[in-house]
Structure 1
Amino acid sequence: MSSEERREQIIEAAIAVFGAKGYVGTTTDDVAKAASVSQPYVVRLFGTKENLFLAALDSALEELLAAFATVPAASDLHTRGELMGQAYLRLLEVRGLHQLLSHAFLLGAHPVIGPAARDGFARVWRYLRHEAGFTSEEAQKFLAMGMLINTMLGLRLTEEYGRDAGMTELFDECFPVSIGLVLEEAPRAHEPW
């Protein structure tokens, strides 16, 4: 593997591990083990856990915006929103991405991660308003649904589907078209990430 391929492998592992364990709960050794590399190699490439988290956050945001950009411009904003929502759910293939974004958005007081997370959140807002063409109300509702989805994924509620009537109803309401994808791809409570 080239060093760039190895770097991407480490970032992919970092997204998964930070997504599952958060910034504080993750060590560079955790990420190294998940990426099947040595911890000194991770430190040599990224320097610090903070830099590694920032690289993972940047990658997650780039993947998110790239997924949104795959949705063709349509005259019907409702259809565009539905397609962007489906693109967001397909990002479940990137293990930990949704949870990593949630963790980052909770680190507003961190002197380095906070500004990067705020900038990333603002980039998403600007994309929704200017590229996607959502009204401010539509953008707010889209973000609110995304945060609800992230919460459900972070709680690893998929195992409650079919066992708890309220959670089953919530899943059916949130994922009327994509329930199969969510139930198949979402992390389970027993999985480390």
Structure 2
Amino acid sequence: MVRMSAAERRESVIRAAMTEFARGGYHGTSTEAIARRVGVSQPYLFRLFPGKKAIFLAASERCVEDIIRTFEEAADGLEGEEAHQAMGHAYGKVIVEQPERLMMQMQMYLAVAAAEQEGDREFGEAVRAGWTRLWDSLHLRLGADIEQTTVFMAYGMLINCLVAMGFPPEHRVWQGVYPEVRAAGQVER
């Protein structure tokens, strides 16, 4: 049996945490569930991360970085409308094939709102920094056009909300949304 390095185990915890937090949110997910998914003890989990908040923030960071990488790979070598279309198509594919990324995003936003109501700004600062990196990456890929970036991000949030609420692809609320996402139509709920 091959033993994982601490870095590999840490990565497996982050991936497992993304899945668990996507399903249960910050408050509804236990570190025990994350440890169980990875196959480690809770004490070992806390040797890798100082606490649940650190695990959640690492999972949030990974979620954003994965989305940025998806957009960059989709738009590689493309400019303008071609890049825009390629990134829209890639996001539609992510939603169909990796819905936990979408749900992790939604859980990030909820965790920020809840934490800030309790006076904890750490969640918000970290998540906003990641979101800003996403914005900046898209903005550059879209030719530094502020309107196009805003529209792209607005469509993305609409798509997130529609999928999270379980609207079937044929429902009228999808009319006008990126054709790639509607064509993917296999958004399973």
TM range (shorter): 0.7 to 0.9
Alpha-carbon distance in structure 1 between the residues aligned to 2:166 and 2:40: 28
Please name the residue that 1:191 is paired with: none
Give, as a single letter, the amino acid of the residue that structure 1 aligns with 2:101: L
Please name the residue that 2:123 is paired with: 113
Please name the residue that 2:108 is paired with: 104
CA change 1:102–1:6 in 2 (3 A) is: same
Q: Is the 8 A contact 2:18 2:63 kept in 1?
A: yes
Report the Cα offset of residue 9 of structure 1: 1.8
| CA displacement 1:104-126 (0-9 Å, x = unmatched) | 23415232111011111111121
Report the Cα offset of residue 181 of structure 1: 4.5
Q: Is the 8 A contact 1:60 1:101 kept in 2?
A: yes
Report the Cα offset of residue 177 of structure 1: 3.1
Q: Is the 8 A contact 1:65 1:124 kept in 2?
A: yes
Alpha-carbon distance in structure 2 between the residues aligned to 1:123 and 1:169: 33
Give, as a single letter, the amino acid of the residue that structure 1 aligns with 2:179: P
Report the Cα offset of residue 74 of structure 1: 2.8
CA change 1:135–1:175 in 2 (3 A) is: closer
Unaligned stretches of 5+ residues in structure 2: none
Unaligned stretches of 5+ residues in structure 1: 163-167, 189-193
Q: How does 1:149-168 map onto structure 2 within 5 Å? A: 149-157=159-167, 160-161=168-169, 168=171
Q: Tell me how large the CA RMSD over aligned residues is.
A: 2.3
1:174 aligns with 2:177: yes
Alpha-carbon distance in structure 2 between the residues aligned to 1:6 and 1:181: 34
Q: Which moved more, 1:52-61 or 1:31-40?
A: 31-40
Runs of 4+ in structure 1 off by over 6 angstroms are: none
Report the Cα offset of residue 33 of structure 1: 2.6
- Of 128, 153, 156, 1:143 maps to 153
Alpha-carbon distance in structure 1 between the residues aligned to 2:50 and 2:163: 30
Please name the residue that 1:21 is paired with: 24
Q: Is the 8 A contact 2:169 2:185 kept in 1?
A: no
Q: Is the 8 A contact 2:71 2:91 kept in 1?
A: yes
Aligned partner of residue 26 in structure 2, secondary structure:
helix
Q: Which moved more, 1:85-94 or 1:63-72?
A: 85-94
Report the Cα offset of residue 133 of structure 1: 1.5
Alpha-carbon distance in structure 2 between the residues aligned to 1:98 and 1:25: 17
Report the Cα offset of residue 135 of structure 1: 1.3
Give, as a single letter, the amino acid of the residue that structure 1 aligns with 2:134: V
Alpha-carbon distance in structure 1 between the residues aligned to 2:104 and 2:29: 12
1:40 aligns with 2:46: no
CA change 1:13–1:138 in 2 (3 A) is: same
Give, as a single letter, the amino acid of the residue that structure 2 aligns with 1:129: H
Q: State the TM-score, normalizing by the size of structure 1.
A: 0.79
